[in-house]
Amino acid sequence: MADLKIKFLGHEFKNPVIPASGCFGFGYEFSDYYDINILGSISCKGTTLKPRYGNPLPRIAECPAGLINSIGLQNPGVDKVISEELVKLDKVYKDKVIANVGGHSVSDYVETVKKFNDCDKVLAIELNISCPNVTGGGMAFGVDPEVAKNLVAEVKKVAIKPIIVKLSPNVTDIVKMAKAVVEGGADAISLINTLVGMRINLKTGEPIIHVKKGGYSGPGIFPVALRMVYEVSHAVDVPVIGMGGIQTAYDVLEMMYAGASLVMVGAQNLVDPYACKKIIDDLPNVMKEYNIEKLEDIIGRCK
């Protein structure tokens, strides 16, 4: 029988498949489609210290191989996420989850992380220092190695849960960024967040998205994500979560060969709400096809 279990940051995941932050809400809505307890975990919607409405409409633009979004971290704020959203999720999903945290300042990140310290539902914090969809904060922290390192160091002073840092692909040297956040104390790295893109309405000559640019995700970015996961996983001594354009169980194996311990599935959930279920159901078949008995054994196989 195929063994899908993965050990990561001291926690055993039943399989490596996790819906990515921003593409699965807070998770409980998807329980109307299937039993979400099959998921390895859930990276919850990006959470900030205070409530955020997000960016003005329109904030979605379709592309031939994905989509561009500029949601702008819309969320009800950390207090309501803990007291309402995660309580709803706990009724339908019994495992622990990953809290994704964003902010405009170092103090925003620090205070939000402190509030998650006492939340038993959360097993780790994913710091979103790479969001291209907010003005101030977000990617401003994710393109300067020294700034990113200092942010992680400040968060680590107060965090009692493992810290995963989500990196932006919109940099010249992804390995330099990865090494910087590890020096700051990151326990793991997740990558990649979205590329920056735009679309133009030919009838008006204006950008489709209100704020002009947004984050491009979907299968079109998979080769870029794979390359960056490979480079980072071979350059740092902390585990890596791979994401970016994953659609199938074959993509999962490819990401794990490149060095990912876990994978996150993003835009495909918006195309097909059963995406993660299909991948999990198909993994044993694809493992058999490639004579893989234990999924953990293939992590970083590609040298």
Residue 278 CB partners (closer than 8 Å, separation 6+): 272
pLDDT at 140: 67
Task: Tell me if 260 is assigned to some domain.
Answer: yes
CA distances from 171 to 81, 94, 121, 134, 144 (A): 31, 37, 33, 17, 9
What is the domain range of residue 228?
Answer: 6-55+73-195+216-298
Active site positions, annotated: 131
pLDDT at 135: 47
Which positions of the chain have pLDDT values less than 50? 132-135, 137
In Å, how far from its chain's centre is CA 235?
Answer: 20
pLDDT at 287: 98
Which helix (DSSP H) or strand (DSSP E) does residue 255 occupy? helix 249-258
Number of domains in the chain: 1
Q: By C-alpha distance, which of 95, 230, 102, 215 is closest to 166?
A: 102
Task: Tell me if 80 is assigned to some domain.
Answer: yes
Cis bond before residue 58 (omega within 30° of 0)? yes
Task: Tell me if 66 is assigned to some domain.
Answer: no
pLDDT at 67: 96
CATH of the domain at 17: 3.20.20.70
Task: Tell me if 204 is assigned to some domain.
Answer: no
Task: Tell me if 108 is assigned to some domain.
Answer: yes
Task: Tell me if 200 is assigned to some domain.
Answer: no
| Per-residue tokens: 242 | 């791979």
Q: How far apart are CA 212 and CA 147, in angstroms?
A: 26
Task: Tell me if 211 is assigned to some domain.
Answer: no
Tell me the angle at which helices 174-184 and 145-158 cross, rounded to the nearest 10 degrees.
30
Cβ atoms within 10 A of the Cβ of 289, count? 11
pLDDT at 139: 57
Task: Tell me if 247 is assigned to some domain.
Answer: yes
